[in-house]
Amino acid sequence: MLAGMSVDYYVRLERGNLAGASESVLDALARTLQLDEAERQHLFDLAKAAGPARKSRAKPSVSVRPEIQQVLDAMTDAPAWVRNGRHDVLAANRLGRALYAPVFEDPRRPVNTTRFIYLNPAAHEFWRDFDQVANDAAAMLRLEAGRNPHDPELIKLVGELCTQSELFSARWASRDVMFHRSGVKRLHHPVVGDLDLNYQSMELPGDGGLVMNVYTASADSPTADALRLLASWAASHEEAVPEGAPSDAGGRS
């Protein structure tokens, strides 16, 4: 009643039959259900996917332009990396590779942060807020599935995680969605210890849905000191380990 639609029509929508639903109907439904921004976007994405055949979305990028790598490399005091919607890390600066050294130990390229979270036991130690990080990763991936429901690599990744991780399977079944734009990451790095980092996620609209994550520390904080130590470690470490090779931070493989 609040959304101005019949019970029969609402039941049809709730069963997933969104084909033909107008933007005004979806707006009314989002408003009545008090959906947040991510949930509203997901509803509209699902409706688009249920509609008539349309021009396929561009496939998620699997590489970055050299100019983007130059931007990353110019940031010498802040860890930074670029990912696609599947959470594949496609490029990083030196400090970004050092910060996420345990993730980069995976010999597969590109490395995938959600695969690391759910399939690598080291993730429980690396993220001090592991439960929240796991929830966020699944919700972000669910949002991407609404945007690109026919992406074969995304389907393959979700299938891998569902079959190998009961935790991911349960999180995926909850159907939560969220944006991940800013906040605090609490890490335990195997070389420099605990870090409390502010992060910003910025979309690169001209690059196929890529997102750049940048991490900073409050001035004169223990984390700022730890980042300087990490930068020194990274400089000496990369002299011995070629870029792209698995890291030995923490002795893991």
Listed residue (61, 109, 50) closest to 83, CA to CA: 61
Residues belonging to the chain: 253
Which stretches in the chain have pLDDT values below 50?
Answer: 241-253
CA distance 185 to 87: 16
User: Structure pTM?
Assistant: 0.83
CA distance 135 to 148: 20
Model pLDDT, residue 57: 56
- Are 118 and 168 spatial neighbours (Cβ–Cβ below 8 Å)? yes
Model pLDDT, residue 117: 98
Model pLDDT, residue 252: 38
Model pLDDT, residue 91: 97
- Are 89 and 244 spatial neighbours (Cβ–Cβ below 8 Å)? no
Residues 6+ apart with CB under 8 A from 31: 3
Strand ranges across the sheet with 193-204: 89-92, 80-83, 210-216, 193-204, 182-189
What is the tens place of the pLDDT at every residue in 231-243? 999 988 776 544 4
Domains plus CATH for the chain? Answer: 7-50 (no CATH), 66-251 (3.30.450.180)
Beta-strand (E) ranges in 5-160? 80-83, 89-92
